[in-house]
């Protein structure tokens, strides 16, 4: 039994909050605090009466460390679950440090003015978190998140050493719009318009955006085009999985999405450099976000499935071994259950599970930890219980 402060009330937070309320044996009380309090109040109103979890709401600017400290001191949570945007990570980590409170997030810090996400800013808190005796669990979504748990599970149960990991993220959902993003458009477009990269033989190999394309026949979905991207878990898995020679990350994109993205890039709409517009400075990408469909509105329209997983190759008892772990999630089933599509669902469920394991002390640092540093078994069990059952194959198609 414990208390969680949840910061942010967007697509991912909404799922995590539904799941905390389903899991009221673990989440006795939650406080939902975000920039726009009316969204927190609407969710509270929807969920109250359906759960034993006590729900409170508050307005907070998560970039204001003093305001966060005051909120944490008054609510006294066992864990703070950060489901705002990556820009807020360090401010929320500062507030947790000042109040000696455990911290969980789903995405690593990214400065607002440079589209470059790296763990170095958050890893710089390691010693201070250790000294304070508190735990920060970084990246408890699906990717990063479940992908790291899958890697730790594969290493613990199936391999003596893992040499190759391919992370494959397929969203075969169709929302019927020519162009929309499935989570925060600003964060999503920053990620996919950046150079790609993969980790090989101890160093990064950089590629142009979408330069490397493969077709993969996804179980329960079929063949899809996928493209190599840089992704944050490559950085931590490259360090934490012994014997690793190469890790790559691929994500599927449809032709319509890519054509629109290319056009938006060509006309400058994805830029994060401020421009002067009618006497005011605006950032083109933020303006674009304002005119695109809100990801939260895609839920009722999205049909189809996601399949996210990892193919591992390595050695067991001196022999070569291949192992594929993945989850398939149906957009409409997610919508029926919690009112959100599968991209928010596949992130919100692991966020709840990570917060639960830190809150009840199953996962204890102290220090700043990536998810693959913990025992994967309780998390794998919880995935099956809370809506993201996983499947395995010992003879998967490989990516060349």
Q: Is 299 in the site for ligand NDP (CB under 6 A)?
A: no
Q: Is 86 in the site for ligand NDP (CB under 6 A)?
A: yes
Token pair recorded at residue 200: 């090989």
Q: How far is the CB of 355 from ligand NDP (least distance, A)?
A: 13
Q: How far is the CB of 201 from ligand NDP (least distance, A)?
A: 27
Q: How far is the CB of 84 from ligand NDP (least distance, A)?
A: 4
Q: Which of residues 345-374 bind ligand NDP (CB under 6 A)?
A: 347
Q: How far is the CB of 266 from ligand NDP (least distance, A)?
A: 25
Q: How far is the CB of 59 from ligand NDP (least distance, A)?
A: 8
List beta partners, residue 104.
81, 137
Q: Is 60 in the site for ligand NDP (CB under 6 A)?
A: yes
Q: Which is nearer to ligand NDP, 116 or 157 (CB)?
A: 116
Contact string 254-293 vs ligand NDP (x = CB under 6 A): ----------------------------------------
Q: Which is nearer to ligand NDP, 138 or 241 (CB)?
A: 138
From candidates 4, 20, 71, 83, binder to ligand NDP by CB under 6 A: 83
Alpha-carbon gap, residue 116 to 329, rounded angstroms: 29
Q: How far is the CB of 106 from ligand NDP (least distance, A)?
A: 4
From candidates 107, 234, 329, 355, binder to ligand NDP by CB under 6 A: 107
Q: How far is the CB of 316 from ligand NDP (least distance, A)?
A: 29
CA proximity to 378, closest of 28, 77, 137, 59: 137
Number of residues that bind ligand NDP (CB under 6 A): 31
Contact string 212-251 vs ligand NDP (x = CB under 6 A): ----------------------------------------
Q: Is 119 in the site for ligand NDP (CB under 6 A)?
A: no
- Interacting stretch for ligand NDP, rule CB under 6 A, among 57-65, 298-306, 359-367, 369-377? 57-65
Q: Which of residues 381-400 bind ligand NDP (CB under 6 A)?
A: none
Q: Which residues bind ligand NDP (CB under 6 A)?
A: 8-13, 34-36, 39, 60-63, 83-86, 88, 106-107, 141-145, 183-184, 187, 295, 347
């Amino acid at each position: 039994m414990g208390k969680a402060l949840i910061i942010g009330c967007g697509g991912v937070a909404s799922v995590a909050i539904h799941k905390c309320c389903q899991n009221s044996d673990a989440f006795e009380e939650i406080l939902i605090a975000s920039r726009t309090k009316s969204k927190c109040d609407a969710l509270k109103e929807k969920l109250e009466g359906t759960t034993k979890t006590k729900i409170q709401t508050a307005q907070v600017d998560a970039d204001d460390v003093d305001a966060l400290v005051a909120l944490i001191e008054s609510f006294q949570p066992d864990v703070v679950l950060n489901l705002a945007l990556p820009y807020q990570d360090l401010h929320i980590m500062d507030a947790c440090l000042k109040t000696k409170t455990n911290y969980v997030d789903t995405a690593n810090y990214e400065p607002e003015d440079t589209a470059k996400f790296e763990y170095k800013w958050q890893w710089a808190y390691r010693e201070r978190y250790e000294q304070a005796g508190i735990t920060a669990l970084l990246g408890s979504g699906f990717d990063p998140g479940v992908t790291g748990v899958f890697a730790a599970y594969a290493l613990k149960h199936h391999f003596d050493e893992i040499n190759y990991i391919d992370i494959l993220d397929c969203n075969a959902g169709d929302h019927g719009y020519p162009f929309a993003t499935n989570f925060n458009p600003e964060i999503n477009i920053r990620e996919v318009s950046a150079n790609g990269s993969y980790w090989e033989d101890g160093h990064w190999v950089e590629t142009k955006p979408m330069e490397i394309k493969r077709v993969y026949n996804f179980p329960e979905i079929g063949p899809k085009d996928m493209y190599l991207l840089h992704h944050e878990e490559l950085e931590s898995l490259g360090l934490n999985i012994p014997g690793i020679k190469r890790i790559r990350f691929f994500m599927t994109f449809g032709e319509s999405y890519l054509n629109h993205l290319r056009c938006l890039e060509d006309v400058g709409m994805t830029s994060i450099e401020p421009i002067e517009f009618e006497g005011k400075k605006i950032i083109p990408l933020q303006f674009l976000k304002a005119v695109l469909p809100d990801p939260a509105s895609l839920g009722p329209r999205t049909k189809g499935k996601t399949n996210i997983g990892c193919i591992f190759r390595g050695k067991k008892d001196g022999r070569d071994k291949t192992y594929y772990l993945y989850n398939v999630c149906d957009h409409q089933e997610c919508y029926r259950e919690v009112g959100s599509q599968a991209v928010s669902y596949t992130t919100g469920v692991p966020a709840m599970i990570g917060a639960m394991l830190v809150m009840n002390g199953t996962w204890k640092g102290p220090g700043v930890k990536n998810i693959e540093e913990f025992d994967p078994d309780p998390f794998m069990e919880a995935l099956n219980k809370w809506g993201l059952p996983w499947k395995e194959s010992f003879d998967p198609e490989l990516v060349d």
